[in-house]
Amino acid sequence: MQFGTSVLLTVAAGFFLQRLVGRFETLEECEKAYEELLGNTGKVTTDPEPATTTTTTTTITTTAGTTTLAPLKKGEVGSMEKDDAKVGYKPPMSGTGKGSNSEGWDYKEHGKDWAATPGGSQCGGSKQSPIDITKFVDIAGQTKSVLWFDYYADPSLSDKMHFSLGNSGHGIFFSSDQIDLGYVKIGMDESEAFEYVFHAPSEHTVDGQVYPLELQILHKTPSGGTLGVAILFKNGKSNDFLKSLQEAAPDVPVWHMEAGATSTTISSKIAEAFNLEGVLNKGAVHPGGDLTFYNYEGSLTAPPCTEGVDWYVSADAVEATREEIKHISESVYASESMSNGNNRATQKIGSRKVLVAHTGFQHHIKHTDTRLTSRRCPAGTLRRMPPGTTRSERAFMLDP
């Protein structure tokens, strides 16, 4: 028996409708549903036609229907209100600390990307710092001269003087030409301290060991070069300098991109906060007398990564309490550009030699009423120099 095409379609459609909505009570209900299903075109669809989207109305299509959002204002398509918008992160520039994608740099990759930045062309050199130092005592590898420390509290310091601890997005630092921090001496050459910077964790490592904090004191040599002293810290007894600095500057500055470089006041009433002699451990014989340093030729540890820096790194870490160390390190980690610390990755030592440097300590008393200076010298003889001589020759000096 053969059936017409229309009959077959009717039966199939009826069966399909029964599966969708159940049985019909009357033939009229079935025929009406059949007409609505096929429509005028005879085309079957199970999804609604998507609504037309205009330039002023955003329409979202779903399987259950459409939801129309409120129209956006003219000229604000795809944008956020200014009050709700957050400025994207940009690394800080040197000096100003302002965010800049083209000139800024940070520690996100611990310096591995600095060579590609505008100010980091020298960061790919062969004599870069910091380095990992293998701990050893090699008599043949000793330096010829003793490194004498002569840090002191400048007696010209007064309550009327204003100083600050800065943070430009690359570290906690102090730099001022209003105060004399002292110097170090090798032979007859005196190198004056002009700046110090904290790094958390340490940049220099010894046998791969990383320390929670490192203080880098930069000095200007008589020839115009740079000499760096790196002091490594470990948890232990209180450190005179860090303790005084915590009292003089209880709020260490934190860098945020929106504000740029920031600073906090260091109270000039606490003189020991400006005396770098307090950083070094007090030896059994005399202050600093038991310290040993490693000496090598390297570079600045941050852009522009200038080479030719004469580095002296403490062979043993000096002690400080956890609170004293955290006082500095927490502000480093809280800064957006240093959330992983401000330590550059250690660099290849190559053919460079690391020497063992012996140190001594000179006590310096600076007289403000005359142009003379007296020191208590652990060795050598005193020699008086006439007024008007250079700093390397001033007042009383050690004869070689």
pLDDT digits (tens, 9 = 90+) for 365-398: 443 433 333 333 333 322 333 333 333 333 333 3
> What token pair was written down for 211?
């320390």
pLDDT digits (tens, 9 = 90+) for 271-317: 999 999 999 866 555 454 567 899 999 999 999 999 999 999 999 99
pLDDT digits (tens, 9 = 90+) for 180-235: 999 999 989 999 999 999 999 999 999 999 999 999 999 999 999 999 999 999 99
Both 31 and 165 in one domain: the answer is no
Both 226 and 148 in one domain: the answer is yes
Which residue, among 150, 156, 193, 157, has the nearest Cα to 270 in the 3D structure?
157
Both 20 and 119 in one domain: the answer is no
**Number of domains the chain contains:** 2
- Per-residue pLDDT at 41: 44
Average pLDDT, the chain: 78
User: In sequence order, which residues have a C-beta less than 8 Å from that of residue 374 and are 6 or more positions away?
Assistant: 365, 367, 395, 396
- CATH number for the domain that contains residue 131: 3.10.200.10
396 vs 58, which has greater pLDDT? 58
Query: Does any domain span residue 186?
Result: yes
pLDDT digits (tens, 9 = 90+) for 69-100: 455 444 444 444 433 344 689 999 999 999 99
Angle between helices 322-334 and 240-248 (to 10 degrees): 60
Query: Does any domain span residue 72?
Result: no
Torsion of CA 377, 380, 382, 386, to 10 degrees: -110
For the residues 21-46, what does the mean pLDDT come to? 56
Query: Does any domain span residue 202?
Result: yes
Both 247 and 316 in one domain: the answer is yes
- Per-residue pLDDT at 266: 96
177 vs 347, which has greater pLDDT? 347
Query: Does any domain span residue 300?
Result: yes
Report residue 359's pLDDT band, with 50, 70 and 90 as the boundaries.
confident
Query: Does any domain span residue 378?
Result: no
Q: How far is CA 51 from the centre of its chain?
A: 52
- Per-residue pLDDT at 58: 43
Query: Does any domain span residue 306?
Result: yes
Query: Does any domain span residue 175?
Result: yes
- Per-residue pLDDT at 65: 47
Both 148 and 294 in one domain: the answer is yes
- Tell whether pTM > 0.85: no
Both 203 and 274 in one domain: the answer is yes
Structural domain for 22, as ranges = 5-55
